[in-house]
Structure 1
Amino acid sequence: MTDEQLQVLTEKLSIEYFGKPFKHMAYFNSRLRTTGGRYLLSNHHIEVNRKYFVEHGYEEIVGIIKHELCHYHLHIEGKGYKHGDADFRQLLKKVGAPRHCSPLMETMEKVKVNLRMYICSKCKTIYKRKRRVNINRYVCGKCEGKLKEYHDK
């Protein structure tokens, strides 16, 4: 999919789901890393992460565009356009846009690699954590036994 095709798709989705035209630019931004897309408040453009199209396909891009169009139309109308605003949540539901996009495989692999595991010395319960746990301060939540770092072999 090219930037021009993305622009046409965005304009089509804006009319179809919101009943309003999209008068700005939509394009791919290869520098986006942690998000599927973003709406720029300063110039009203929408940027989309191309990796999501490559990995998840057309439907995921449609969801991302609808999500960003919710930000776009609410911001232009002067309503609550942020993720926590009631206006934003209602519009997401109305148009069937996802609140979050699916994670990329490279992100999932990083999360799996960075998991730390701890085991209780009494009941042998295994705890998986992304962040380091101070084993001198925290104990097992089930039996209050001492935690040790666990290395799966």
Structure 2
Amino acid sequence: MKLVRNLIPSFFICMLLCTAASASQPGTPDELQVFQNFAFGWVVKLNKNHIKGFSHMEVLLQKDGKYLARYHAISPDTIACKVKKTSAKSKGMVGLLKYIETIYESTGISPQEACANKFKPVKNIRITEIFSNSGKGWR
């Protein structure tokens, strides 16, 4: 629940920034805005269903007898979107979605304490995903 409360303000700030950025790009502001909406929805799904996400947190017993709790999350304020037209004769487009997935960890003397303690970011992973749209929506 704490993660959701932290992500919601970031999501809205990012939406405002990306909307301003899309308005300043010539040529395809509507296409970019549609892709950005798709991308934000995609990231929400990733956070919800990630096999190592907050709801599927790993808890590992360490050699020293303490427990390590770990999960992955994507902050919406790390999202960057770009749309390019393809060179194909049909009206195809390619969308690039870049974001940073962060790994958070916490320790404790029991699994419950490890999950309840404050989590700290320990690693950032840069990810780029490529989507296509040939007139039937982004996939």
Q: TM-score, normalised by structure 2?
A: 0.28
Considering fraction of residues, name the structure with more strand. Answer: 2
TM-score, length-normalised on structure 1? 0.26
